[in-house]
């Protein structure tokens, strides 16, 4: 009999799932997810019981848990919006995170084989990126590919990969106006490629099939203030992506996009989406130039320092666009404070009534 292989990063990766419903979708993912630890972030009514199929190792947090663990700082975690998933990133103790939505199922490749999305994300994260010089054969570290003629040898070591951004078959991740114009459009194109997003180029990051190195970039993965009581929704992952890209560029880290695919099973209501996105559609015309022109100082040598500098510039420049961005800048600072409380620097001693103390 063949010796069973240990799943990649079995003890170093958490799967984070935001949800408002029973997690029956996990049955389809069982062959791929069961060896891993799940962090389920329950949104909405905390008294509702969420059922998880038997055999999974998981912890589940609802809004009462968020309030209990973070206290007053819980204000930075969105309510009634999938942005609440970033609480799972904060409480995880693992090096890597994979996050997926509960309407995403296992896709099949062109040969009809089930795609192990998690395995491909891990391969993306464990191999370098090429943000400083584009390779026309895409990811040179994949089997059957390499650097093409003319690619500088001095750059072939690449950069550490911080983020792996996966895609979707069936229902594409469209905004509400595009949904309304193309209600029956489906993505059936399977493109067998992984690309590094070049330095200086922003991209729309979708949070429903996403993996990242929590130690490299975790504190930047804040999904903002969205949903209940906020004037905007469905821009949580976009905000995190723009902030993360600016910071990875500054810290010489890489972001990959492309494989793996998941099967996105159902389209959300475009009229509900339009109500959530309405402000964002206008505001992003100011947000994108802001992120394209933002600079971070030489003193910003950690993700936290980068993020706090970014929060300051959000207040100074985007606060003029709408008062919401002053509130968001405050939440960005609160997020970092909460992250550092729950994730003290290595070599620090946590205290029950104050910040971490450095061990001598």
In tens digits, the chain (360 residues) has pLDDT values of 555 578 999 999 999 999 999 999 999 999 999 999 999 999 999 999 999 999 999 999 999 999 999 999 999 999 999 999 999 999 999 999 999 999 999 999 999 999 999 999 999 999 999 999 999 999 999 999 999 999 999 999 999 999 999 999 999 999 999 999 999 999 999 999 999 999 999 999 999 999 999 999 999 999 999 999 999 999 999 999 999 999 999 999 999 999 999 999 998 999 999 999 999 999 999 999 999 999 999 999 999 999 999 999 999 999 999 999 999 999 999 999 999 999 998 765 544 444 444 443
* Residue-range definition of the domain harbouring residue 18: 13-342
Residue indicated by tokens 């723009």: 242
9: left (phi over 0), alpha (psi -120 to 50) or beta: left
Q: Count structural domains, the chain.
A: 1
pLDDT at 356: 45
Would residue 109 count as lying in a domain?
yes
pTM score, whole prediction = 0.95
Task: Give the helix, strand, coil percentages of the chain, each rounded to 5.
Answer: 35, 20, 45
CATH of the domain at 324: 3.90.550.10
Q: Is 360 domain-assigned?
A: no
Q: 162 lies in a domain? A: yes
* CB of 139 closer than 8 Å to CB of 127: yes
pLDDT score for 4: 56
**pLDDT value of position 5:** 74
Please tell me the distance from the alpha carbon of residue 70 to that of residue 341, in angstroms, as a whole number: 9
- H or E segment to which residue 225 belongs: none
Q: With respect to residue 353, please indicate whether it lies within any of the assigned structural domains.
A: no
Cα–Cα nearest to 85, from 99, 73, 97: 99
Instruction: State the Cα–Cα distance between residues 299 and 87, nearest whole angstrom.
Output: 28
345 Rama class: left (phi>0) / alpha (psi -120 to 50) / beta:
beta
From 140, 138, 128, select the one nearest 164 (Cα to Cα). 128
Residue 356 falls inside a structural domain: no
Indicate whether 352 belongs to any domain: no
Residue 36 lies in a domain: yes
Where b means 16+ CB within 10 Å and e means fewer, 230-246 reads bebbbbbbbbbbbbbbb
Measured CA distances, 104 to 49, 177, 263, 309 (Å): 21, 22, 5, 35
């Amino acid at each position: 009999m063949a010796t069973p292989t240990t799943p990649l990063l079995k003890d170093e990766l958490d799967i984070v799932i935001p949800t408002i419903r029973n997690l029956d979708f996990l049955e389809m993912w069982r062959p791929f997810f069961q060896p891993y630890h799940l962090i389920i972030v329950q949104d909405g009514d905390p008294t509702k019981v969420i059922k998880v199929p038997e055999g999974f190792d998981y912890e589940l947090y609802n809004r009462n848990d968020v309030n209990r663990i973070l206290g007053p700082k819980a204000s930075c975690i969105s309510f009634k919006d999938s942005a609440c998933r970033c609480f799972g990133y904060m409480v995880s103790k693992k090096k890597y995170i994979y996050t997926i939505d509960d309407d995403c199922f296992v896709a099949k490749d062109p040969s009809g084989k089930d795609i192990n999305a998690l395995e491909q994300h891990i391969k993306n994260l464990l191999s370098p990126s090429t943000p400083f010089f584009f390779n026309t054969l895409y990811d040179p570290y994949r089997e059957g590919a390499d650097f093409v003629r003319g690619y500088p040898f001095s750059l072939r070591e690449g950069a550490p990969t911080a983020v792996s951004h996966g895609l979707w078959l069936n229902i594409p991740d469209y905004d509400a106006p595009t949904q309304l114009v193309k209600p029956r459009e489906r993505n059936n194109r399977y493109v067998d490629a992984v690309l590094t997003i070049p330095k200086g180029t922003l991209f729309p990051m979708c949070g429903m099939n996403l993996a990242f190195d929590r130690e490299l970039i975790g504190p930047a993965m804040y999904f903002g203030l969205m949903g209940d009581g906020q004037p905007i929704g469905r821009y949580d992952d976009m905000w995190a992506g723009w902030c993360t890209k600016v910071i990875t560029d500054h810290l010489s880290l890489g972001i990959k996009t492309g494989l793996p695919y998941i099967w996105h099973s159902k389209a959300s209501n475009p009229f509900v989406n339009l109500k959530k996105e309405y402000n964002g559609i206008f505001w992003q015309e100011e947000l994108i130039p802001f992120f394209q022109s933002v600079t971070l100082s030489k003193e910003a040598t950690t993700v936290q320092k980068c993020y706090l500098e970014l929060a300051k510039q959000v207040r100074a420049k985007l606060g003029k666009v709408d008062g919401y961005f002053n509130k968001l800048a405050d939440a960005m600072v609160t997020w970092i404070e909460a992250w550092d409380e729950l994730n003290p620097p290595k070599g620090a001693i946590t205290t029950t009534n104050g910040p971490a103390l450095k061990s001598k």
